[in-house]
Amino acid sequence: MMIVDDAFPVEPWLVRETELCLDLLPQTESLFALSNGHIGLRGNLDEGEPYGLPGTYLNGFYEIRPLPYAEAGFGYPEDGQSIVDVTNGKLIRLLVEDEPFDVRYGDLLSHERILDMRAGTLTRTAEWCSPAGKRVKVTSVRLVSLAQRGLAAIEYVVEAVGDDVRVTLQSELVANEDQPATSGDPRVAAVLVNPLEPIQHEVSDRGALLIHRTRSSGLMLAAAMDHAVDAPGRVDFDGDAGADWARTTVVCGLKSGERLRIVKYLAYGWSSLRSRPALRDQAAAAIAAARYTGWQGLLDEQRAYLDAFWDCADVEVDGDADCQQAVRFGLFHVMQASARAERRAIAGKGLTGTGYDGHTFWDSEGYVLPVLTYTAPHAAADALRWRASTLDLARSRARELDLAGASFPWRTIAGEECSAYWPAGTAAFHVNADIAMAFERYRVVTGDDSLEKSCGLAVLVDTARLWLSLGHHDRHGAWRIDGVTGPDEYTAVVRDNVFTNLMAAANLRTAADACTRHPDLACELGVGTEETAAWRDAADAVHIPYDHELGVHPQCEGFTTLREWDFTANTEYPLLLHEPYVRLYPAQVIKQADLVLAMHWQSHAFTAEQKARNVDYYERRTTRDSSLSACTQAVMCAEVGHLELAHDYAYEAALIDLRNLHHNTGDGLHLASLAGSWTALVAGFGGLRDDEGVLALDPHLPSGISRLRFRLRWRDFRVTVEATHTSVTYTLRDGPHTTLTIRHAGEPLEITTDSPTRAPVRPRTPLLPPPPQPAGREPLRRHVQGHTSSREPMITVRSSGRPK
- Is 170 annotated to bind ligand? no
pLDDT digits (tens, 9 = 90+) for 84-140: 999 999 999 999 999 999 999 999 999 999 999 999 999 999 999 999 999 999 999
Cα 233 from Cα 250, distance rounded (Å):
13
β-pairing verdict for 563-564 and 587-588: parallel
Q: Which of 1-15, 395-409, 443-457, 723-737 has the lowest mean pLDDT?
A: 1-15
CA atoms within 13 A on the CB side of 286: 26
CA atoms within 13 A on the CB side of 226: 16
pLDDT for 76 beyond 90: no
pLDDT, residue 70, reads 66
Instruction: State in Å, rounded, how far the first CA of the chain is from the last one.
Output: 23
pLDDT for 191 beyond 80: no
pLDDT digits (tens, 9 = 90+) for 20-64: 989 999 999 999 999 999 999 999 999 999 999 999 999 999 999
Element holding 612 (H helix, E strand):
helix 608-619
pLDDT, residue 182, reads 60
pLDDT digits (tens, 9 = 90+) for 447-472: 999 999 999 999 999 999 999 999 99
pLDDT for 731 beyond 90: yes
Do 744 and 728 contact (CB within 8 A), yes or no?
yes
Percent of the chain with pLDDT over 70: 95
Which pLDDT band, with edges at 50, 70 and 90, does 783 fall under?
Answer: very low
Element holding 752 (H helix, E strand):
strand 747-752
pLDDT digits (tens, 9 = 90+) for 649-689: 999 999 999 999 888 899 999 999 999 999 999 999 999 99
pLDDT for 615 beyond 50: yes
Residue 489 is a catalytic residue: yes
pLDDT, residue 794, reads 36
Q: What residue ranges define each of the domains in the chain, with the CATH number in brackets? A: 88-180+199-311 (2.70.98.40), 376-545 (1.50.10.10)
- Is 773 annotated to bind ligand? no
Helices 498-517 and 529-540: crossing angle in degrees, nearest 10, is 150
Average pLDDT over residues 641-645: 97
Cα 554 from Cα 617, distance rounded (Å):
10
Cα 588 from Cα 564, distance rounded (Å):
5
Nearest to 586 by CA among 567, 559, 621, 566: 559
Q: Which of 58-67, 259-268, 443-452, 538-547 has the lowest mean pLDDT?
A: 58-67
Cα 600 from Cα 598, distance rounded (Å):
5
pLDDT for 300 beyond 80: yes
- Is 434 annotated to bind ligand? no
pLDDT for 776 beyond 70: yes
Do 658 and 667 contact (CB within 8 A), yes or no?
no
pLDDT, residue 781, reads 72
pLDDT, residue 184, reads 52
User: Residue 503, class by beta-carbon neighbours within 10 Å (0-12 exposed, 13-18 middle, 19+ buried)?
Assistant: buried
pLDDT, residue 211, reads 98
Nearest to 733 by CA among 721, 746, 725, 745: 721
Do 468 and 397 contact (CB within 8 A), yes or no?
no
Tell me the pLDDT of the chain averaged across its residues.
Answer: 93
Do 631 and 650 contact (CB within 8 A), yes or no?
yes
Looking at 17, 417, 489, 531, which residue is catalytic? 489
Do 212 and 196 contact (CB within 8 A), yes or no?
yes
pLDDT, residue 198, reads 97
pLDDT digits (tens, 9 = 90+) for 479-510: 999 999 999 999 999 999 999 999 999 999 99
Average pLDDT over residues 633-646: 98
Average pLDDT over residues 177-201: 72
Q: State yes or no: cis peptide before 779, omega within 30 of 0.
A: no
Cα 365 from Cα 359, distance rounded (Å):
13
- Is 410 annotated to bind ligand? no
